[in-house]
Structure 1
């Protein structure tokens, strides 16, 4: 009788690699289901901003955002099987594999969000990773289409989520959590939702909290990294309240705002250019892995010296 009610989430059997195709075909495509709703909300926000003459949508940036988003979805779809294979490989490696249970979604999501915080923070502190993330910050306007601006090479960041996989969560749970985490980011990219109830603002990455993250002012730069739970920023000293009107974009904005190739790879091109021109290995490593702000100050400081000499 005791065995009947035994609480046992571990000890799940290995997933045979011949089953991966079935899992891939049957795993819910939540983002694809949500896409029509997202586009309706984008159209609604555009229409309201147009009627109010707020100019939240600029033609070139909107085209760029949509093309980047379409490309990202296509790449994610193409890599789905490969990424799932990697997660299954790790799942089979650990002896504490968990059975598939819907209630495991919550702990997996919390741990996934914690890893996302650090992946996001590193992406702002090391130039190589910044090149995989600057795409998202390259818009000078803030609207729902900004959520589509996800780098085409961002999937290499799966290395930051290996700890989640090593905990033994079922691959389908991992796959669903990843999609929900991406979808959560959609609604925070708007100016039409102001500050919410203090309790919500304290716990979650709301539109107000995330607007700060996209700010180019000094007080807003490198703040509010948390994707879902802003509590991580409060714990690790990177929280900043929205206090003044946000100026969006990066400190040196891109010019070609509609070309998805330029949006995705302009920073990689700059890195390659800087590395080729560097005269020492120390400087090459600085241009590749240095703090993006320090690199920018060095480069633009040099240019000012050359102009003044």
Structure 2
């Protein structure tokens, strides 16, 4: 019980601290660029035409809505984090993950069992918390059109149910689930291969090396599955009655596959993946009137 409470408190603290970062990232994912490109230098020192980074973007938001505006969408995101932590822990407990930890085997069979249990727990948490995720995203992109459609948590729930029914709460769920599952299996499989065949088991810092390899493979897996995150977020706000989910920022997609294909065709599969050194893509120009790249 104490462990669960500490996890909730730690998770809530990290959620609050990362809220401005997530807010900027979501607006960039949608394609909103309120500030024009400037001439800057990349990590190699070369002059390039680049878009403003995280801090300039956040400063622009604060200049309009104040510093408090950087925490738009925090309440539903906190609800999602707390509920997700509780559900994840409960499912893991009920699935008997502790029995696997007691086994001394480090075989790939054990990795499969652990990953399967983790996949079930994460998927359950994702499905249950997705409605809060949708509300969070829609609250954030209201900045684009200066709307006030999704303000309070209860009002947002009523609005989605009235306009879209129950399915509206699960917009963008499928690509989000697929991305989580693929990322988890890829991360754990790569970590197993590295720990088994690349690391010397006789090294005294073996446990520390394993934790590093898990972090590196996790980062690599998240990079590869980022398109699923982008597509999920775009589908969650698509055609929801907000400027950020409607043309010209977002076409009306018929499905998440249609969204994926269109982003791939436009070369936007990594949009929002980086918040620093944001180079203007080749062939794109900045439109001041629309505040976006075309």
**If the length of structure 1 is used for normalisation, what is the TM-score?**
0.29
Higher share of residues assigned strand = 2
Q: Comparing both chains, which one has the higher relative contact order based on Cα–Cα distances under 8 Å and sequence gaps of 6 or more?
A: 2
